[in-house]
Each structure stands twice: as structure tokens, then as C-alpha cells.
Amino acid sequence: MSKELTYGELAALMKSNAGITVDAGLLDGHPETPFAEYGLDSLGLLGIVGALENDRGIPIAGDADSCKTPGAFMDVVNTSLKAGV
């Protein structure tokens, strides 16, 4: 079973794959703030999904790259990781 993604890891992925620096506490404290407010677009999110799939070796549900908020993204990703889908 794969370890769940944390907001800290999401913040690091946003930095490394989209060049966006955001505090993990901000993501965690405001999970419904749209990614667009952080400057993350759908292409950046697609890069994050690809990096997660490569790192974890598990496909992430197809709707992860269309999530609009960190909270929704975490739900989709962690559901995929728990299921090992």
C-alpha cells in the first residue's frame, strides 16, 4: 500500500514541476483555494500528476489533472494511492 500524499509533498511538486512556490501550510489551511490563485494551470497540474505516477509507480485517476483545488486533488490522488489502481 502506498503512502498518502501530503500537502508538503504537493507544495514541493508544485515547485519542482511548475516553478510555483507556495507554503504547504497555506495549501493545508485553505484546501478550497483554487489552484489558479497560486498560478498553477492545467498543464502544470498534468506535470504534477505525471511526476507522481513516475515516483509512486501507480496510475493516478484520470480526473486528477482537472481538479480545481488542492483539497480535491488530494482526495483524488490519495484515493488512487490507497486503492493501488
pLDDT band for position 84 (cuts 50, 70, 90):
confident
Write down the pTM of the prediction: 0.92
In a domain, 14, yes or no: yes
For residue 57, what are the CA distances in angstroms to 2, 4, 6, 53, 64?
Answer: 9, 13, 17, 5, 16
C-alpha cell at 4: 498518502
pLDDT exceeds cutoff 60 at 72? yes
pLDDT exceeds cutoff 70 at 45? yes
Report, as an integer, the average pLDDT of 29-46.
96
CATH number of the domain to which 16 belongs? 1.10.1200.10
pLDDT band for position 14 (cuts 50, 70, 90):
very high
**How many domains would you assign to the chain?**
1
Residue of 66, 42, 84, 80 lying closest to 17 (CA atoms): 42
Residues spanned by the domain of 11: 7-83
pLDDT band for position 8 (cuts 50, 70, 90):
very high
